[in-house]
Structure 1
Amino acid sequence: MNIKSLIDLQAVMFLEMATGYIIRRFGIVKGESKKVLTSLIVYVALPCNIVKAFMISMTPEIIKQGAMMLVASVVIQILLAVAAAYCYNWLPAKKKMVFQYATVASNSGILGNTIAGEVYGALGLLYSALYVIPQRIVMWSAGLSYFTEAPDTKTVIKKIMKHPCIIAVWLGIIIMFLQIQFPLCITTTIQNLGNMTSPLTMMFLGINLAESGFKSLVTKYSCLYSAIRLVIIPAAVMACCYAVQMEKTAAGVAIVLAAMPAASMTAVVASQYDGDVDFAADIVVFSTILSLVVLPVWVMIVAAVFT
């Protein structure tokens, strides 16, 4: 993707977010509409987008890079979990919980899949779908343990296997390996529903921004977190990808997903387990806004470094 196309993509995403902001500020939609949008994204649009990504011809190179992506994601999540456990002891307790969770749980699932698909196409989305599997495991196990006792293994496995995006990954793998060909009406329906992912996601973030406001966004803590999440973590991932000579698209997906802002679930979990809810909402919104500027920079760096 050239620079002009990337800028156009970011402009589109910004306008989609602005649309969500406007319709919430003017009361066209209510706060409860977020639940509807979330359900549409998680249960309809994103799974269709993931399945669509697997509707490609299978090659040994795709299998190899997909396996490397999965291994890379496992290593990244382990390192992030270790860092989260030891690096934030100086923070106030409730802010520490939020920092820890938001370090291991980024917005790779919804926003990340959207960006990967838009920038790197169907192959990028396929790699992205594989990348987020280890993250979901960590955010539902170690992630929750930062706020309370970690859930048992059975509960974690049950949540993972029932998640619609994980189900979509397994269906997609079956479709790709068996090279299943669907009638045009089914393929087109899946594509059209999957194409809703980006606008719905950005409108959801815009609605969040309208509800939280701008006043408390810029603090030393939100700036520190954003620097860690958007700069330090992806820089470390890029160094590792370069060291192992990962293929350009796979490396790009890994780095871009590592540069995702805080997961939207951060505020939800903080609220559920008596964390600092306002701070959690602030870092989600602030890091998301900054990511609109930072992500194109990372895409250009990847294009220059990995040839």
Structure 2
Amino acid sequence: MASGLLALLDDVSALVKVSAASLDDVPAQVSKTTGKVSGIVIDDTAVTPKYVVGLDPSRELSIIFKIAKKSLINKVLLLSPAALILGFFAPWAIPPILMLGGAYLCFEGYEKVHSMFSKHHADATPEAGDDVEVITPEELEKERIKSAVRTDMILSAEIVAITYATVADTALVNQIAVMLAVAIFITVAVYGFVGLIVKADDIGLHMAQDKYHPTTQKIGRSIVKFMPSFLAFLGYVGTAAMLWVGAEIIAHGIPFTNHALHNLEMALADVPVLAWLAKVVVSALGGLILGAIIEKIVVFIRRFTKSSKA
């Protein structure tokens, strides 16, 4: 009996030692993973501010907090367990699911580009008899949050999938620790920076008050003047990043396009910045074309559904 208990304690001790040694690698693996998902993080950071632009300034941080909270819940309670389960039982299902998410990003990115070049339609004055939908600020806020969480869900799924691929060959406890650490770190970093961006104009106004040094006032006024142009630029970057990331997700799931992107990078390997830029431009253009095709399909399905109901 005593020998059996000692053997059990030895096994527990060995398991603890293995787990501890595995957990020692967590910081290095978290660092490695965050480097791999940098493009998606840029996308998430650039896209999110547009969801609070035009809303009540006093609600901006509250809205960002709600989006961040749902993003973290999705990563920790939905996406990470789903990745672990799929990775164990059906690893073949992960790429198609990610490709569907990439297709959605391309579709949404194309719609943003299309709206940029069709502003005259949006600015047109409604004619008499036209149905104009009127929503309250509360409804608009809820709609913005839903849209932001929907986009974040796809980007988070890609982050979780890349994280899982990085630690798939390690112990389960290590997989859980790394995925949890990456989820928390990226969520806090992205939405903390987004909060700083959307409140920068308020910070500038505070710095521009007469009670501060003239240099401080000048910096504050410069921030206030700079932020509208910066937010507009960030909107363009976010749209381009949606197309780039969406197309790259799809390209990685198709051997031919994956090899083509890899060969493009290798051809320009002597100039890393140029290689990266070429891959981004090609991916964004491909995402734009794919988004346009998906948009035509969606419009056709909507018309067909309406005609069927009629």
Which TM-score applies when normalising by structure 1?
0.38
**Radius of gyration: which is bigger?**
2
Which TM-score applies when normalising by structure 2?
0.38
**Bigger proportion of residues as helix:** 2
